[in-house]
Amino acid sequence: MAERLLGTDFPFADGILEGKTALVCGASKGIGRSCALMLARSGARVIACARSTSHLDSLIEEMHGDGHTKIELDLEDIDAVRDAISTIGVVHILVNNAGGPPGGPLLENVIDDFEGPFTRHLHASHVITQELVPIMESEGMGRIVNIISTSVREPIDNIGLSNTLRGAMASWSKSLSRELPACITINNILPGFTDTDRLGSLASSISERTGKTLEDVTEGWMNGVPIGRLIDPMETAVAVTWLCLPSSSGIRGVSLAVDGGRMRSI
Could you read off the pLDDT of 46-57 as tens digits, one per residue?
999 999 888 899
Instruction: Using alpha carbons, list the distances in angstroms from residue 55 to 30, 32, 71, 175.
Output: 11, 12, 12, 34
Q: What is the pLDDT of residue 102?
A: 86
CATH pick for 2-192+232-251 out of 3.40.30.10, 3.20.20.150, 3.40.50.720, 3.40.50.1700:
3.40.50.720
Supply the pLDDT for residue 4: 54
* Residue 64 confidence class, pLDDT cut points 50, 70, 90: confident
Q: Would you say residue 130 has pLDDT above 80?
A: yes
Confidence of residue 13 (pLDDT cuts 50, 70, 90): low
pLDDT at 266: 85
Average pLDDT over residues 84-106: 94
Check the CA dihedral 228-232-236-238 and report its sign: negative
Q: Phi and psi (nearest 5°) for 116? A: -60, -55
Q: Where are the alpha helices (H) located in 140-246, listed in sequence order?
A: 160-177, 197-210, 214-222, 233-244
- d(CA 44, CA 24) in angstroms, rounded, equals 11
Task: Give the global pTM.
Answer: 0.91
The yes-or-no verdict on residue 77 having pLDDT over 60 is yes
The domain limits of the chain are 2-192+232-251, 195-230
Mean pLDDT value of segment 31-45: 96
Amino acid making up residue 260: G
Q: Given this model, what pLDDT does residue 232 score? A: 94
pLDDT number for residue 203? 65
What is the average per-residue pLDDT within 19-44? 96
| Candidate from 26-30, 225-229, 244-248 with smallest mean pLDDT | 225-229
171-204: per-residue pLDDT in tens? Answer: 999 999 999 999 999 999 999 988 886 767 666 7
Q: What is the mean pLDDT of the chain?
A: 91
Per-residue model confidence (pLDDT) at position 6: 55
pLDDT at 219 over 80: no
Among 48, 151, 37, smallest CA distance to 101 is for: 151
